[in-house]
Amino acid sequence: MAIINKNFRTLAAGYLFPEIARRAKAYQDANQGVALHRLGIGNTTEALPPAVLAGLHAKVDKLGHNDTYSGYGDEQGDTPLREALASYYKSLGVEILPDEFFVSDGAKADAANIQSLFDRRSIIAIQDPAYPVYVDSNVVAGRSGQFDREKGYYENFVYLPGTEENKFFPAPPTQKVDLIYLCSPNNPTGAVATHEQLQAFVDYAITHKAVIIFDAAYSEYISDENLPKTIYEIPEARKCAIEINSFSKFAGFTGVRLGWTIVPHELVAEEAKPGELHSMWFRRQCTFFNGASNIAQAGGLAVLSPEGLSQSRAIIAYYMENARIIREGLRSVGLTVFGGDNAPYLWVQTPKGMGSWEFFDQLLQQCQVIATPGSGFGPAGEHYIRVSAFGHRENILRAVASIKDNLVLEVRS
């Protein structure tokens, strides 16, 4: 009598993107032939650059000859790639040993699976708004109570709202928690934690023997040199933080699939000495994973070469120019815009306190622009929309022009 894991029934329906698709389709059906401008999805659009393509092709060629063919690699990733990642962190001013990197098929899987290292009764703190994976993976693991539709929160989770007052990066919780998920640069708000803000979380974690799961998937979009690109810029973070990152937004690998997680040797938990969590993640990856694609890993190594880095950063600069165009366009019509300077997302306040979905509909109906309602990322996202800077330039320009030409904002009272 197999019985299902009933925690899956606790998961609230994945409502956001299907609902966006439904409304877009309804509009399109009613307005045949009208083109929609899609600024909703955080997906890369620009071709991989030459150095990376060369690395991918070269690996495929190797797989075609018996003397260079390779099968299973190490679950934790190829040594040259882990060494290149260590050099990359050194260029950020941070010392990470090659064996502290665990190469994966992307940040999402690691962000979802990392909770399996911890006790089922752990208390979870998450930013609100947030990328849904942190919450959903812990619901499936049985750490939540029921979903409260009124509040938009799961019982038993500790939500840390990001608001205009705290510049969309919250302070540490006031009560005791065990695991804290942070995302900086943040999806969806585009906010980046300062050294002081991260230091406060590290201090909290050291004091309470909590563990920080730090999602840095957008770190390469930080151009302000005063902002930390990795939590290990806070020295004590090696005792209390796991960092997850990815080549997806760094180098257009959203479809190629490659990421990494850092579990420092010094990381501790209650009754777990330095080294045990590192060994546990090693064991977890060797049991539940068989390594990232060796083709993708060769691509990742090419990304970290001098040419690969400069070509990939040129594409990031292209997306960030998109962000600048969107920001200036939206401000020129009187909208209040946050983010978008060190992240590819803009966090736009709805005019006159409109609801997120109401403003979504207005942008769709008046401007044929699709954004993402902020409330879809959590209750604190209400009265905001997320605008993504990923897209071909010509589409971004058309979308901004349409907003400038067609958006009718009533005068604020």
Task: Identify residues 7-26 at the interface with its own copies (CB under 8 A).
Answer: 8, 11, 14
Q: Is 408 exposed, middle or buried (0-12, 13-18, 19+ CB in 10 A)?
A: exposed
CA-CA distance, 80 to 406, in Å (whole number)? 53
CA-CA distance, 38 to 361, in Å (whole number)? 13
- Is 79 a binding residue for its own copies by CB under 8 A? The answer is no
In the bound state with its own copies, the residue whose beta carbon lies nearer, of 77 and 340, is: 77
CA-CA distance, 98 to 93, in Å (whole number)? 15
Task: Identify residues 91-110 at the interface with its own copies (CB under 8 A).
Answer: 105-106, 108-109
Nearest 5°: phi and psi at 130? -155, 155
In the bound state with its own copies, the residue whose beta carbon lies nearer, of 383 and 386, is: 386
**Out of 31, 87, 166, 290, which residue is the one contacting its own copies (CB under 8 A)?**
290
In the bound state with its own copies, the residue whose beta carbon lies nearer, of 359 and 390, is: 390
Q: For the chain, state the CA radius of gyration.
A: 22
373: CB partners within 8 A, 6+ apart: 16, 20, 356, 357, 359, 360, 381, 385, 386
**Out of 15, 29, 30, 72, which residue is the one contacting its own copies (CB under 8 A)?**
72
- Is 370 a binding residue for its own copies by CB under 8 A? The answer is no
Q: Least distance from C-beta 333 to its own copies, angstroms? A: 29
Helix (H, G, I), strand (E, B) or coil at 372: strand
Longest alpha-carbon distance in the chain: 74
- Is 292 a binding residue for its own copies by CB under 8 A? The answer is yes
In the bound state with its own copies, the residue whose beta carbon lies nearer, of 57 and 167, is: 57
332: CB partners within 8 A, 6+ apart: 404
Total residues binding its own copies (CB under 8 A): 82
CA-CA distance, 187 to 184, in Å (whole number)? 8
**Out of 31, 70, 91, 166, which residue is the one contacting its own copies (CB under 8 A)?**
70
End-to-end CA distance of the chain: 63
Task: Identify residues 142-201 at the interface with its own copies (CB under 8 A).
Answer: 142, 176, 178-179
**Out of 174, 226, 287, 413, which residue is the one contacting its own copies (CB under 8 A)?**
287
**Out of 12, 24, 53, 354, which residue is the one contacting its own copies (CB under 8 A)?**
53
In the bound state with its own copies, the residue whose beta carbon lies nearer, of 65 and 412, is: 65
| AA identity, residue 85 | L
Q: Which stretch binds its own copies (CB under 8 A): 22-30, 119-127, 302-310, 377-385?
A: 119-127
In the bound state with its own copies, the residue whose beta carbon lies nearer, of 151 and 283, is: 283
Nearest 5°: phi and psi at 81? -70, -40
- Is 112 a binding residue for its own copies by CB under 8 A? The answer is yes
- Is 118 a binding residue for its own copies by CB under 8 A? The answer is yes
